[in-house]
């Protein structure tokens, strides 16, 4: 079971790095959104520093959606999804592997790139570290919730828009606690650890619910 897990992770990582993979694309998209915000709100650095964590988090939510619609759809089209569902390893493990690979190529790079992009919105070093940490803890929740939508829309052509509509309302709690944890680090009445712990809890709950629901959706999709 462990070998099957690692094999699927390795396969998806290799695919993400090749032509047509969305590995670097979501990072570029993340940069685009962060760069667009000052054009909309004006270049006032004080304002940008105040709402910086929020900008980075909204950008992360949107960037997670990139490539998510292809998470199971590509496998559905070339038939490898049938092999995965028919494999002796439990489908839940394989879903977990695919989601992990997706997070390694989108969520993790976003969290690591946050200190760099934080410069654009004039975040203080504390703010950068805090936002980076919250993204590291919170983006798994986004990916798992998104995986449910991806599994539900796997066989729908042009499922990208419906995926976003279905998945975004469910991401509201993660966004709230991610931003409030990052804000708490920059000062405020709430201690940093409280929202961060809730964010971790959200990621764990999403990990269980998302894996089970996505596997169920793939199994009952036929």
Partner 1 sequence: MPARYTRAMAMGLLTRLAQPGHFMRWSGALLPWVAGLAIVLLAIGQYLTWFVVPPDYQQGETVRIMYIHVPAAWMAVFFYGAMAVSALGTLIWRHPLADVAQRAAAPIGAAFTLICLVTGSLWGKPMWGTYWVWDARLTSMLVLFLIYCGLLALWRTIEDPNRAARAVAILTLVGAVNLPIIKFSVNWWSTLHQPASILRMGGPTIYASMLYPLLVMIAAASVLGLALHLQAMRTEILRRRVRTLTILEAERLDAALLAPQAA
Pull the structure tokens for residue 87: 């494999």
Please give the Cα distance from 95 to 143 (Å, whole number): 12
Minimum Å gap between C-beta 162 and partner 1 is: 5
Nearer to partner 1, 105 or 203 (CB): 203
Minimum Å gap between C-beta 15 and partner 1 is: 25
Instruction: Report which DSSP code applies to 157.
Output: T
Q: How many residues does the chain have?
A: 222
Closest among 159, 154, 142 to 102, alpha carbons compared: 142
Closest among 211, 187, 191, 178 to 58, alpha carbons compared: 178
Nearer to partner 1, 200 or 221 (CB): 221
Nearer to partner 1, 67 or 146 (CB): 146
Pull the structure tokens for residue 31: 């940069």
Minimum Å gap between C-beta 42 and partner 1 is: 22
Q: Count Cβ atoms below 10 Å from residue 20 Cβ, excluding itself.
A: 9
Minimum Å gap between C-beta 147 and partner 1 is: 11
Minimum Å gap between C-beta 209 and partner 1 is: 6
Nearer to partner 1, 60 or 167 (CB): 167
Which residues are near partner 1 by CB under 8 A?
Answer: 148-149, 152-153, 156, 159, 162, 165-170, 172-173, 176-177, 180, 190, 198, 202, 205, 209-210, 213, 216-217, 220-222
Sign for the CA dihedral angle at 115, 118, 122, 127 comes to negative
Cβ atoms of residues 56 and 175 within 8 Å: no
Nearer to partner 1, 52 or 210 (CB): 210
């Amino acid at each position: 079971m462990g070998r099957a897990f690692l094999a699927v992770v390795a396969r998806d990582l290799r695919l993400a790095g090749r032509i047509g993979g969305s590995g670097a694309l979501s990072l570029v998209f993340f940069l685009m959104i962060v760069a667009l915000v000052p054009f909309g709100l004006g270049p006032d650095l004080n304002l940008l520093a105040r709402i910086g964590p929020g900008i980075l988090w909204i950008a992360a939510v949107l960037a997670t959606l990139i490539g998510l619609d292809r998470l199971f759809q590509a496998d559905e089209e070339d038939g490898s999804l049938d092999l995965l569902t028919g494999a002796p390893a439990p489908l839940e493990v394989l879903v977990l592997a695919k989601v992990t690979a997706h997070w390694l190529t989108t969520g993790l790079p976003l969290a690591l790139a946050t200190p760099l992009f934080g410069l654009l919105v004039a975040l203080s070093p504390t703010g950068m570290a805090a936002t980076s940490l919250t993204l590291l803890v919170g983006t798994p929740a986004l990916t798992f919730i998104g995986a449910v939508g991806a599994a539900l829309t796997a066989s729908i052509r042009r499922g990208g828009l419906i995926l976003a509509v279905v998945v975004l309302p469910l991401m509201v709690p993660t966004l709230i606690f991610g931003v409030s944890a990052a804000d708490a680090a920059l000062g405020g009445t709430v201690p940093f650890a409280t929202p961060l712990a809730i964010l971790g809890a959200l990621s764990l709950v999403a990990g269980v619910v998302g894996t089970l629901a996505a596997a169920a959706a793939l199994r009952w999709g036929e």
